[in-house]
Amino acid sequence: MRRRDEKFPENGFEAWGGYMQAKIAKLEEQFCVSAGKEEALSDIFNGVSIYVNGFTVPSADELKVLMSKHGGTYHTYQRSDDYIIASNLPDTKVKNMNLSRVVKPEWITDCLKSNRLLDYREYLLFKNSRTQRQLNFSKVIKNNDSIPATSKVPDVKNEPDSFNKNLIENSNIIFENEPSMQDVLPTESELDMKKSSNLHVQTVSKAHSGPVTKTAADPNFIAEFYNNSRLHHISQLGACFKQHINDLRENSNFQFPARVQLKEKILNSNNFNTFTQLKFEKNKVIMHIDMDCFFVSVGLRSRPELRGKPVAVTHSKGGQGRPKREGVDRHAEFNLYKQKQIKKFSMSTGKPENEVVIETRIDSIGDENEKYGSMSEIASCSYEAREKGLGNGMFMGAALKLCPDLQTIPYDFDGYKEVAYTLYNTIAQYTLDVEAVSCDEMYVDCTELLADMKVNVQSFATMLREEIKNKTGCPCSTGFGGNRLQARLATKRAKPDGQFFLTEDLVEDFIYEIKLRDLPGVGRQTAQKLEALGHITCGSLQSLSLASLKSQLGNKTGAQLFDQCRGRDQHPLSFLTVRKSVSAEVNYGIRFENSNQCIDFLKQLSAEVHSRMQQFKVVGKCITLKLMVRDEEAPVETAKFMGHGFCNVINKSTTLNKATNDVEVITKEVLAICKKQNIDPKEMRGIGIQVTKLEPLNSKPSKGTINKFLANNIKSEIKTESTASEGVSVISGRTIEKRTPTKVKKVISTKSPLGKRRGRPPKSLKLLQSSTRNVGPSKSVPSTSKNLPSTSKKVMNNFLQGQNAPRDLPYKNPMIKESLPKEEPPVKKEPKGMIGLPWKTVRDMLRAWLNSDQSPLQYDVNMIVEYLQEMILTKDIEHLFILMNFLRRVTREVGSDVWLKVYDSIYEQVQNMMVAVYGKKLHVFDD
């Protein structure tokens, strides 16, 4: 299907100025340049790495070439130590970003002109208080601070900040492309001071007491904190990929042409015949797939020299002593945690408190100013590090104690996202019976896939892992079993970089040895309880009756554990996720001096929640405020820098009469609750806002018949779902209380999946159609592709929308817009534009375009439409399908109205052409 070869079009566009055009030109230029000679021209930018944001002159592609020619590095995704090159930035961005490294592109060109690295601070895009970092001895601020950060007139020149100290100080850190001191810190500070004489400046007296630290009282705190929070990113990415699977399923016709190629590959591999046929419980094949120490693996892609060494991803490096903070009492604080834990344990087990021995992660950490005192957490560590006893979540101090030669690498959140997309999209070529767990982990029901491909599971696993490794540069492990529990445990056995098949005959012996703590759902508390009952392993727990387990741990948990320790799992995979709550919380850096700061923060956090609700298109009825307040026994100064320390947690909620996402309402309720608690703002250590009892936001005006059509469709989905669930429960012979009715009710109550567009006509049926757990009536729905007339290219059928789109009556399709026929496709007498470019290149260009922060130009839109229409004419439907899906997803990610309109416009014109050429619409998208 890859009929286009990698050639560039003859250059012939006369109009200039469109983003895409610029891109094309640069692309070509870059191609020519890199095709030319490879040697560097200078090393001016040695150690400098840049990220280009938005439209610049020279363009991003040009800058990329320039950097590589002159010793620098260009990043497609922004990293923390990049200089951000930009000529202008949208307001929304500016508000949420650290501007101290946002530099005009002239910096690069001027450096080249003068053939040396100039002080980037001369080229800051924004020069005001926001771009100024903390100073050690004096701080100069503008007298008039009311000039908005977005002011296009950098009329003010402040004293530049001293170069970020910690970048230099820690020599054992691996920093990529860290600028060296002499390069970037010329003695121009004094110069700057003189230049600034035309301003009113004042020295902040407070500055003498040391660096000013960022707290939640700072206006930009939330954004900066979230930007750096691994937990925030983990959570966001998880939600993102659950949605991604929802979207893919919604837009798919559940044909998987890539299976053919994979099968061929498998059949051609020489080891194919060496595998025996495996049998899993109930003849289902569930795969669990998990990237190996994900964050580390992504980081190591660009640091091959660290492979095989103990490596950890963390913010800080530890090792050095920390500045002594007055009033810290680690022992007192840790003791409080420990006592609480002991008390809890004693209560739940009946063991007297003085007999309880508990080990916590704070036991092994040194004093704050010691070598091993760092309380920075490890997000992920390599297997070499795990061998020495390190684990995720461990403090750096403790980790260094166990492993003094630990190498640390910084976070690369964009990298994680990129790799995760590749992972998911790789799987999605073969099946969409996928339950996303997180950005690096999912369950896949392979039953249908393997039956269809008629290949053995071992070959499939081998090839799939190889493909993922090739595409992402990161290893992963897969486990297979007859249910999700078995698959999951198999993966654990398979790690690292392996695969394991927990076949029916192995389950009993295998599960017997499994530690209870390793069961999903059994955490520290449950494991402790079970241990108190005398059970460490699944085998041992099998001796406990269902009744006693239930009485010890509750009905559901008890029953689940009873199943789990026998290797059973009745929970089917769920391919569709429905959001039930939206929340935002910050338990770091919360330090208020007065109630105004607190109120201001609550407002900001309310706005954050509001914006997320908008993003997910929901309104909610119940608003909960969570407050962490310093325990009166806890030291005022926390052990962890800016941490929350030992706290009491307060949760208070209000239920409204009507669901809302109004920021004013949320703020008002939140402030009211907070006020009622009567808490000294100085004692606050954490704040969270949650909205529950969600309903989908009905933004679209009613469309009469269409809506009816939708409602019916959704009902049928619910019905099928419930039958399916019951079917499963009967088959598994389990005692399942009210599970099914509850589930059904949940589905009904949400009507259509939240956080996504309503209105998806034939999708619901298809959604169920290929789900292997459905044995009910949905099976009888005929395959949509059968209705289509045959085409020369068989695969094309996979992408055409079959239902409701007969050749001669396109307007009967309820999803076709009224406006459809009114304009002709744009005439393309003009330059060839993008036509001829490989689709992958176009995809990358689209991505860059969407990330460019530029307003889309009509010209560019037209050019893209032309390109896509050309694909229709040349019958390259497969890639058209990919590009359209891509465009849809990405425009929604950007989420702004203007981009959604761009998408709609492109969509409409493409479908016009589809109808004109094939009498059918491309099978994608509902709106």
Partner DNA sequence: ATCCTCCCCTAC
Partner DNA sequence: TAAGGTAGGGGAGGAT
Structure token pair of residue 841:
């290149």
Asked whether position 323 contacts DNA by CB under 7 A, the answer is yes
Exposure string of 774-798, with b = 16+ CB inside 10 Å and e = fewer, is: bebebeeeeebbeebeeeeeeebbb
How many Cβ atoms from other residues are within 10 Å of residue 30's Cβ? 16
Footprint of DNA on 232-251 (CB under 7 A): 232, 234-236, 238-239
Residue closer to DNA, measured from CB, 294 or 501: 294
Residue 342 to residues 330, 348, 355, 533, Cα–Cα distance (Å): 18, 10, 9, 16
Exposure string of 66-78, with b = 16+ CB inside 10 Å and e = fewer, is: bbbbbbbbbbeeb
From residue 515 to residue 554, what is the string marking binding to DNA with x (rule CB under 7 A)?
----xxxxxxxxx-------------------------xx
Asked whether position 614 contacts DNA by CB under 7 A, the answer is no
Min dist CB 429 to DNA, Å, is 22
290 is in an annotated binding site: yes
Kindly tell me which residue out of 583, 595, 614, 732 binds DNA, with binding defined by CB under 7 A: 583
Min dist CB 503 to DNA, Å, is 22
User: CA angle, 410 as apex, 406 and 411 as ends, to 5°?
Assistant: 125
Asked whether position 315 contacts DNA by CB under 7 A, the answer is yes
Dihedral of the alpha carbons of 318, 324, 328, 332, in degrees to the nearest 10: 60
Min dist CB 321 to DNA, Å, is 9
Kindly tell me which residue out of 314, 660, 797, 885 binds DNA, with binding defined by CB under 7 A: 314
Asked whether position 732 contacts DNA by CB under 7 A, the answer is no
Kindly tell me which residue out of 73, 253, 472, 560 binds DNA, with binding defined by CB under 7 A: 560
Structure token pair of residue 295:
């964050």
Dihedral of the alpha carbons of 903, 904, 908, 914, in degrees to the nearest 10: 40
The region of 256-264, 399-407, 575-583, 817-825 touching DNA under the rule CB under 7 A is 575-583
Residue closer to DNA, measured from CB, 230 or 773: 230
SS3 312: strand
Residue closer to DNA, measured from CB, 179 or 645: 645
Dihedral of the alpha carbons of 720, 721, 722, 728, in degrees to the nearest 10: 110
Structure token pair of residue 463:
């090839």
Residue closer to DNA, measured from CB, 232 or 889: 232
Count of residues that interact with DNA, criterion CB under 7 A: 89
The region of 111-119, 309-317, 469-477, 779-787 touching DNA under the rule CB under 7 A is 309-317
Exposure string of 111-145, with b = 16+ CB inside 10 Å and e = fewer, is: bbeeeebbbbbbbbbbbbbbbbbebeeebbbbeee
Length of the chain: 927
Asked whether position 342 contacts DNA by CB under 7 A, the answer is no
Asked whether position 581 contacts DNA by CB under 7 A, the answer is yes
Residue closer to DNA, measured from CB, 474 or 522: 522
Asked whether position 407 contacts DNA by CB under 7 A, the answer is no
Structure token pair of residue 571:
């929970």
Min dist CB 152 to DNA, Å, is 28
Footprint of DNA on 636-655 (CB under 7 A): 638-645, 649-653, 655
Kindly tell me which residue out of 376, 478, 725, 813 binds DNA, with binding defined by CB under 7 A: 376
Q: How far apart are CA 464 and CA 447, in angstroms?
A: 15
Kindly tell me which residue out of 23, 249, 612, 756 binds DNA, with binding defined by CB under 7 A: 612
Q: Are 502 and 516 in contact (CB under 8 A)?
A: no
What's the half-sphere exposure (Cβ side, CA atoms, 13 Å) at 220? 20
DSSP character at residue 598 = H
Min dist CB 323 to DNA, Å, is 5
Asked whether position 795 contacts DNA by CB under 7 A, the answer is no
Asked whether position 344 contacts DNA by CB under 7 A, the answer is yes
DSSP for 877-924, written as a single string: HHHHHHHHHHHHHHHHHH--HHHHHHHHHHHHHHHHHHHHHHSS-BS-
Asked whether position 317 contacts DNA by CB under 7 A, the answer is yes
Structure token pair of residue 206:
């407070």
DSSP for 330-363, written as a single string: HHHHHHHHHHHHHHHHHHHH---GGG-----TTT
Residue partners of 528: CB distance under 8 A and separation at least 6: 345, 348, 349
Footprint of DNA on 417-436 (CB under 7 A): none
Kindly tell me which residue out of 318, 753, 802, 831 binds DNA, with binding defined by CB under 7 A: 318
DSSP character at residue 454 = T
Q: Indicate which residues carry an active-site annotation.
A: 441
Kindly tell me which residue out of 2, 343, 556, 703 binds DNA, with binding defined by CB under 7 A: 556
440 is in an annotated binding site: yes
**Please, what sign has the CA dihedral across residues 64, 67, 71, 74?**
negative
Residue closer to DNA, measured from CB, 578 or 861: 578
Residue closer to DNA, measured from CB, 212 or 848: 212
Footprint of DNA on 588-607 (CB under 7 A): 588-589
User: CA angle, 790 as apex, 788 and 795 as ends, to 5°?
Assistant: 90
Footprint of DNA on 882-921 (CB under 7 A): none
Tokens 């759902």 locate to 521
Asked whether position 587 contacts DNA by CB under 7 A, the answer is yes
Min dist CB 624 to DNA, Å, is 7
Q: How far apart are CA 766 and CA 762, in angstroms?
A: 7
How many Cβ atoms from other residues are within 10 Å of residue 241's Cβ? 24
Structure token pair of residue 467:
């493909």
Residue closer to DNA, measured from CB, 134 or 785: 134
Asked whether position 166 contacts DNA by CB under 7 A, the answer is yes
Kindly tell me which residue out of 13, 55, 123, 225 binds DNA, with binding defined by CB under 7 A: 225
Residue closer to DNA, measured from CB, 457 or 687: 687
Residue closer to DNA, measured from CB, 650 or 916: 650
- Residue 717 phi, psi dihedral angles, 5° rounding: -65, -45
Q: How far apart are CA 486 and CA 511, in angstroms?
A: 9
Asked whether position 555 contacts DNA by CB under 7 A, the answer is yes
Asked whether position 490 contacts DNA by CB under 7 A, the answer is no
The region of 16-24, 296-304, 576-584, 728-736 touching DNA under the rule CB under 7 A is 576-584
Q: How far apart are CA 434 and CA 446, in angstroms?
A: 9
Footprint of DNA on 672-701 (CB under 7 A): 686, 688, 690
Min dist CB 226 to DNA, Å, is 6
Residue whose C-alpha is closest to residue 689's, from 661, 666, 662: 666
How many Cβ atoms from other residues are within 10 Å of residue 357's Cβ? 8
Footprint of DNA on 449-488 (CB under 7 A): none
Asked whether position 316 contacts DNA by CB under 7 A, the answer is yes
Strand ordering across the sheet containing 618-630: 581-586, 684-696, 618-630, 647-660
Structure token pair of residue 917:
């050429």
Cis peptide before 856 (omega within 30 of 0): no
Min dist CB 337 to DNA, Å, is 8
The region of 274-282, 373-381, 497-505, 807-815 touching DNA under the rule CB under 7 A is 373-381
Kindly tell me which residue out of 82, 440, 569, 876 binds DNA, with binding defined by CB under 7 A: 440
Min dist CB 732 to DNA, Å, is 15
Kindly tell me which residue out of 441, 467, 563, 876 binds DNA, with binding defined by CB under 7 A: 441
Residue closer to DNA, measured from CB, 19 or 225: 225
The region of 49-57, 316-324, 454-462, 871-879 touching DNA under the rule CB under 7 A is 316-324
From residue 109 to residue 148, what is the string marking binding to DNA with x (rule CB under 7 A)?
----------------------------------------
Residue closer to DNA, measured from CB, 523 or 806: 523
Point out the annotated binding site.
290, 440-441
Point out the annotated binding site for Mg(2+).
290, 440-441
